[in-house]
Amino acid sequence: MWKNYLKVSFRNLKKRKLYSGINLLGLTIALVSFFVISLYIHHEWSYDRMYSNADRIYKFNQEFVSGGEKQLVGTTPSSLVPTLIEEFPEVETGTLVFDLSIFSSVMVNAGEGNQEESRFAFVDENFYQVFDFKIIAGQRASLLNNPNQLVLTESTAKRYFGSAQNAEGKSLKINDQEYLVTGVMENFPSNSHLDFDFLASFKTHRHGKNPEWSPSNYYSYVKLRADADLEQFKAKLPKMVEKYLGEAQKENGFETAFYAQPVTKIHLGDQSLSSVKPGTDIRYLYIFGLVALLLIAIGIINYVNLATAEATERNKEVGLRKVMGADRLQLFGQFVSESLILTAGAAVLSLLIIYLVAPQFAKLGGVPLDLTLLFSVPGILALAGLVLTVGFLSGLYPSVILSGLEPIKALGNKVKIGGGAWVRKSLVVFQFFVSIGLLISTFVVKTQLDYMQEVNLGYQKEQVVALPYHYNMRKSIETLKQEMLRTGAVESIALASDMPIFIKAGYRIFPGGDNQNEFMITGYSVDKDLVKTIGLEILEGENFLDTDLSRTMAYDSSMEYPVILNESALQQLGWNAGEAIGRKVNFGGGMAHVKGVVKNFYFNSLHHGVGPLAIFIDPEQANVLLLRLPAGNPAVHLARLEQTWKEMAPDRPFNYKFVDQEYAQLYRSEERVGAVFGLFSGIAIFIACMGLFGLVSYVALRRTREISIRKVLGATQHDVLSVLSADFFRLLGLAAGLAIGFGLWFTDAWLAAFANKASIGIWPYLYAVLIVLLLALITIGYRSWKVYTLNPSKTLKSE
Amino acid sequence: MIQLKEIDKYIESRFQRVFILKGINLTINEGEFITLMGPSGAGKSTLLNILGLLDEDYAGEYFFGDKSIRKMKDKERSSLHKSEFGYIFQAYHLIDELTVYENIETPLLYRSVSSTERKSIIANLLDRFNMVAKKDLFPAQLSGGQQQLVGIARAIAGRPRVLLADEPTGNLHSGQAREIMEIFQELHAEGTTIIQATHARENADFGTRLINLVDGRIETDEAIAK
């Protein structure tokens, strides 16, 4: 029986090439999209689950409460891990990671000159007990037990020493400090939130020898014992804080707490917490998952639509089979087996295509796709399940319709399948609702992204280059500045602690003598040339002077130092610009007076508004030069500046970044969502249009005779088009209406994540609807043209 | 074997009932070879469809053996349909996507006949109708007469007790028609009950009984003298 089903199905599919082709292509594209998205989601979902006992590993975050404001950060003090190990029986072991790349890059010298490397971290000796990465060379137990020991990842070892085995026992000079390579580990898996090239023993670091409870610069992890009670453990943490930080809290008027976060929740968890690798907003995964399901639904709908439309052509066969004794179940089996074959074919085809597109998608989505997953046992089971589900869903409705035909009617003239038309129409509406909806979403995302790139940030980011320098160069930095200015290849240079696009450092501030009104403020340490270099607008008071610098440098705690506040800071202090100048504030533990007020500018992601900011002068904390280049080709200017740099700092690399490009980087995850939306809405439209083509083809076929008669009577091509398209355009209109409704909702939901919203207007809606309608018109137009050009004498004769 | 009592079949139009069959009383015994004649629209095909359980939308009583069709459950009716009836059509109605062999095989598949048994039944039929060489051809590659032979082979493959033929020779020229009628005669001789509808008087001579239908009524019902 099954053999017969298969044979008949194959012949049917072969006979109806257009119909099978459209279905096969539609299902294949839908499955490719589905697989790719699934693999992506699986990758994001699998983060940090590869360590044995991953369920017992926790990372610690620290909360600061001051002036009623809470701030949760991803880093903790260096004393936390040793204390937890020492005093908590629940803790099996723990480790601390100090990601140096937050602060600066390092210079690595293997005897052939300095190379700049940024993925460098100090980790303590328990690191490989908590995270059991594979050790390729060296002894796991003794890898980083002593100062000046170093573990390389496999690819880094290859880069410097040719192979992992070669690297063991060799030494590397990092920032002029000699390190012994005691081992080589596997490369960090792409789904680990940890990612470094160099891991040095934390004992090398000052805090490694003498842990302290301030500052909070270190990632802390513990592995609890299998029998530990997590809740009990958590409940005991406040006591520890009281014991070690109680006094400091009272003195400085803040409260702090530590929270344990499962290691598996880091990647998809709170995105505001700092981590070694940027995480993924879990909402995007939901959105992508939904898009994947919608695409599959569109593919299935194509099948259902075409198969029911085609049912009118197959009623004779169905009638005959019934007359010959087929019962409903047998017919059902035949039609479902047809859709199963098609789906299985599409699955095979899509696997081939995935092999081809995986590298491209990896680029777009930013993660590698693990294709071996598709061929693992669960992968194959999932695949089989998917094929069965999709095949069954596709075949279900057409089978019910076809197998339910009454034989006598089916054998007679072509039957009109009444119920089918209604369902078919709803499905078409759904397809185009999804297509237009996705397209609107794409345009909305794009509008906001464009807006963010073009919005006036309050300073000029174009033609500004950031040049990180090492603190070793601090003494000669003024000379370097002067030399660079003399080349004429730069208009102005400022020292700063960060690029202005994203300033991170948090400080506490309160009006002089009034520590009840303390609040958190972002601090930006610069020199006097910043205002000129990035074009800030001083509203009141004045910019820093050279004398301000010398005053700060005197480090006399009795002296006040000047700060420039932004409008938001003033607002929070409750002062207006005029009266603020000269007033005292307690800022970052010292006394300061307000020297100037700067117009608000965006120094954070546009997801947030402009918070309070204090600009102060402190070259000690600066580690980047901001250079305003004159008009003209930046490459020419940079070449001249590099020459000067080489003369002044021959052993330091000249690595510059354009501030506007770095700014664009801030919105990478949004760009990614935009790109994925764009891609998949294109795919959805394509599949839907194919389905539409198929449907119109059947309508055209059924009405060939009618159209021929119309033509004989003098109908123009335009008349034929309107005969064929009138019904469809009514459906598309309905779909467009629904999609616009969805778009309005989406716009609100998406823009809610941004403090600075673009005004969307009606254009995204208009464009989306027009584009889809135009494509639909072309699809229908092509088909109606084909019918129109048929010779009526032929079509009429055959009846 | 078959008994029809007061069978009415009508279409409800806006103002009146249009009767296609009215007051049909008919008893058919096993082994008869009946010819239904009458002008177009007399109700021949409708009567055949009712007899063959293809049309259940009528008034009156239909007994198969001693059982009332109307009182049967769907399942019983469907299995009766499968086991007792074979159908032959004017337009052959072969399935275009299936070869000669597969067309004959289809009813056997629906009757869950085992593979070896299927093979032997089909081999016998192909042999009997001289179609062995054509078993892998598709219907479109056969002449009308050959297609109707396949249609007959398919109809009798399941060994039905009743064979229903609706204008089996209507699309054939006289030579082919004669061949078909001779096969019917053979089947009749083997014990199959045959009911055919036809326009051609000469076909009736092959049978045992001739029924004339006019405007949905049985006008004459006579035995054919041999």
Highest mean pLDDT: which range of A794-798, B133-137, B168-172 = B133-137
* pLDDT higher than threshold 50 for residue A799: no
- Segment A101-115 shows an average pLDDT of 79
Q: Which of A326-340, A419-433, A741-755, B81-95 has the lowest mean pLDDT?
A: A419-433
A253-278 pLDDT, tens per residue? 778 899 999 999 999 988 778 788 88
B141-152 pLDDT, tens per residue? 999 889 999 999
Chain A 7-26, CB below 8 Å of chain B: which residues?
Answer: 7-8, 11-12, 15
Chain B 40-69, CB below 8 Å of chain A: which residues?
Answer: 49, 52, 54-55
Determine if the peptide bond prior to A215 is cis (ω within 30°).
Answer: yes
CA dist A609 and A763 (Å) reads 26
Test the B interface: residue of A16, A323, A330, A405 with most B CBs within 10 Å: A323
Q: CA-nearest residue of chain B to A407?
A: B54
Q: Which of A361-370, A781-790, B79-88, B90-99 has the lowest mean pLDDT?
A: A361-370
Looking only at the bridges linking them, the beta strands covering B2-12 and B17-28 are antiparallel
A3-27 pLDDT, tens per residue? 777 888 888 888 888 888 888 998 9
* pLDDT higher than threshold 50 for residue A609: yes
The whole-model pTM stands at 0.78
A164-218 pLDDT, tens per residue? 889 999 999 998 889 999 999 999 998 899 999 999 999 998 888 888 887 888 9
Test the A interface: residue of B87, B115, B118, B137 with most A CBs within 10 Å: B87
A787: which residues sit within 8 A by CB, 6+ positions away? A700, A703, A704, A707, A720, A724
CA dist A731 and A691 (Å) reads 14
Which H or E run contains B12?
A: strand B2-12
Judge whether B106 is closer than 8 Å to chain A, CB to CB.
yes
Chain A residues touching residue B105 (CB < 8 angstroms): 4
Chain A residues touching residue B54 (CB < 8 angstroms): 323, 407-408
Judge whether A408 is closer than 8 Å to chain B, CB to CB.
yes
Q: What is the pLDDT of residue A798?
A: 45
A367-411 pLDDT, tens per residue? 777 788 878 888 889 889 999 998 888 888 888 877 777 776 666
Counting the structural domains of chain B, the total is: 1
Of all residues in chain A, the percent with pLDDT exceeding 70 is 95
| In A502-643, beta strands by DSSP E | 506-511, 519-526, 538-541, 561-566, 584-587, 590-598, 613-617, 624-628
Chain B residues touching residue A326 (CB < 8 angstroms): 106, 110
Closest by Cβ to A317, choosing from B52, B78, B95: B95
Closest by Cβ to B110, choosing from A316, A325, A411: A325
B207: which residues sit within 8 A by CB, 6+ positions away? B33, B34, B35, B188, B194, B196, B224
B37-77 pLDDT, tens per residue? 988 888 898 899 899 888 888 899 999 988 898 888 878 88
Q: What is the pLDDT of residue A553?
A: 54
Test the B interface: residue of A4, A9, A12, A324 with most B CBs within 10 Å: A324
* pLDDT higher than threshold 80 for residue A1: no
Spell A51-71 as b/e; 16+ CB within 10 A means b. Answer: beebebbbbbbbebebbeeee
- Segment A323-350 shows an average pLDDT of 87
Q: Which residue has the higher pLDDT, A468 or A705?
A: A468
- Segment A517-542 shows an average pLDDT of 87
ipTM, two decimals: 0.81
Q: What is the pLDDT of residue A60?
A: 94
Test the A interface: residue of B58, B97, B101 with most A CBs within 10 Å: B97
* pLDDT higher than threshold 60 for residue A46: yes
Chain B residues touching residue A407 (CB < 8 angstroms): 54
Judge whether A455 is closer than 8 Å to chain B, CB to CB.
no
- Segment A442-447 shows an average pLDDT of 88
* pLDDT higher than threshold 80 for residue A33: yes
Give residue for tokens 């880091």: A266
- Segment A131-151 shows an average pLDDT of 92
Report the mean per-residue pLDDT for chain B: 89
Chain A residues touching residue B52 (CB < 8 angstroms): 323
For helices A763-788 and A668-702, what crossing angle results, to 10°? 30
Q: CA-nearest residue of chain A to B156?
A: A324
Euclidean distance between the first and final Cα of chain A, in Å? 36
Of all residues in chain B, the percent with pLDDT exceeding 70 is 100
For residue B113, the domain's CATH number is: 3.40.50.300
Closest by Cβ to A320, choosing from B78, B82, B95: B95
Q: Do A321 and B106 touch (CB under 8 A)?
A: yes
* pLDDT higher than threshold 90 for residue A722: no
What range does the domain containing B108 cover?
2-223
CA dist A667 and B81 (Å) reads 70
Banded pLDDT at A224 (limits 50, 70, 90): very high
**DSSP letter (8 states) at residue A521:** E
Strands of the sheet containing B67-68, edge to edge, are B17-28, B2-12, B59-64, B67-68
Looking only at the bridges linking them, the beta strands covering A506-511 and A561-566 are unpaired
A798: which residues sit within 8 A by CB, 6+ positions away? none
Q: Do A7 and B102 touch (CB under 8 A)?
A: yes
Pair A528, A545: CB distance under 8 Å: yes
Chain A 411-440, CB below 8 Å of chain B: which residues?
Answer: 411
* pLDDT higher than threshold 60 for residue A35: yes
Judge whether B93 is closer than 8 Å to chain A, CB to CB.
yes
Q: What is the pLDDT of residue A560?
A: 76
CA dist B166 and B172 (Å) reads 13
CA dist A725 and A215 (Å) reads 70
B98-115 pLDDT, tens per residue? 899 999 998 888 888 899
